[in-house]
A and B are shown apart, each in its own frame.
Chain A
């Protein structure tokens, strides 16, 4: 693995499978009486959030705390950033405080990359969502949820998502979740189709490793998992579709549409959901919707990422074997 997790494209297939396998073991910690491991004791993880987020920040915070790391939450509101401090000065401050990892969410695409490559800080950088670019840990937890549901908990260990058909529906243009998912799912061998109104398909989508469709009804019967994206009203400063009602008619998932999906297929949503817009309450509350499961899996997956980045002298190596050696017995 690389030292930072900036993009889902940074991960090889073996890296991704190692993260998912590790997450599977981390998930078991949640069932124990003491939900804590001593592994990252003495390390400091800074959550640097320039953009509002509840579940991602809480998820990273819970993950770091379960691994016994010290967590410092830094949100732009009410901090020196609102007084005009630059990213560089904020980074230098964190460096001076001795952060071992910085989890950054930023409204500007590329901010985590800048932080990781500028030489301002020595710590590992984890991208928790930057602009409309990427959100790699969300893609990892989605892949983890799919592997659990479609392949099986124990049966999935060591396996990827080879041949599974994943459909991503909605505001692909503004979605960092879609971008990271397409990359990662492709790496894991899945066949990805993105479905969106033409106005919400990004320029350059031809170069993405996925199919593009404008018709949800055509794709649904051939999907093992359908991921509904949130319609991001806050990023919509132009008219991308005539009315919300028209959008939800053509691209929303309701009970009738869900019935067209194969028996085993699951419905995913990265949250927060706009009930009645991209997903109806009937679908959101059904057994096939994994939205709540995804939140729980998020903590396990982020524990795995933090452990594999920080738990040794360097990030986990996936090519060479690291069996327990005799010296340590």
Chain B
């Protein structure tokens, strides 16, 4: 029900939005990030990819497939729901929570790469780091995002960025992925009243 409603909202507002990344751009960007991960992790042997629901999970799965092509080994991929760790829970009605799926036994001693679609205030990542702390003790944690739109409110940065997208706070960035929205695109538009009220 959530996804459907979100899609309806998307259908209304995306017409006036300008695409900044098209499907082939997203594919290229993910390939580059996969190569960067292998390079920095010197082979990606102990890498675990954790996507942040909803779209981060799809991106993590795509990245895992690319990493598998490059390294020839299977990369564990899972999801990390951050709802219960948010700092703004009291601002809205209680939310439905998503799935946390840790692949393999645990994340102790592994290199965890968090994957999300848009990096904005950094609060989601702060919550994700707290959630990780309750799940184990990774060797290191890195962050991969498709789009970094700036306006950080916490001292957090991404290790792998698909595209740096300087935006104003009056703008809105929407990532669409085949698995959820039926097409791949990153859209930039003006914030409407509904978006501002969210």
Contact = CB atoms under 8 A, between A and B. Distances in A.
Given A25-B99, A28-B100, A33-B136, A39 B84 contact: yes
A323 B174 contact: no
Given A323-B2, A326-B173, A329-B118, A38 B130 contact: yes
Nearest to B81: A25
A32 B135 contact: yes
Interface stretch (A273-281, A289-297, A305-313): A305-313
B110 interface: no
Contact of A314 (B93, B119, B136, B173): B93
Nearest to B53: A324
Chain A interface helix/strand/loop/mixed: loop
Contact of A325 (B99, B116, B198): B198
A39 B89 contact: yes
A313 B85 contact: no
A327 interface: yes
Interface residues of A, number: 34
A21 B96 CA distance: 9
A320 B198 CA distance: 12
Given A36-B134, A321-B2, A327 B94 contact: no
B54 interface: yes
A38 B99 contact: no
B154 to A, nearest CB: 12
B90 A326 contact: no
B195 A326 contact: yes
Contact of B97 (A22, A309, A323): A22
Given A14-B1, A312-B90, A328-B121, 11 more contacts: A18-B96, A21-B96, A38-B85, A312-B92, A312-B95, A314-B93, A321-B2, A326-B174, A327-B121, A328-B86, A329-B117
Interface of B: 1-6, 9, 53-54, 81, 84-86, 88-100, 106, 116-121, 123-124, 130, 134-136, 172-174, 195, 198
Closest 6 CB pairs of A and B: A321-B5, A312-B94, A329-B120, A316-B94, A311-B94, A325-B198
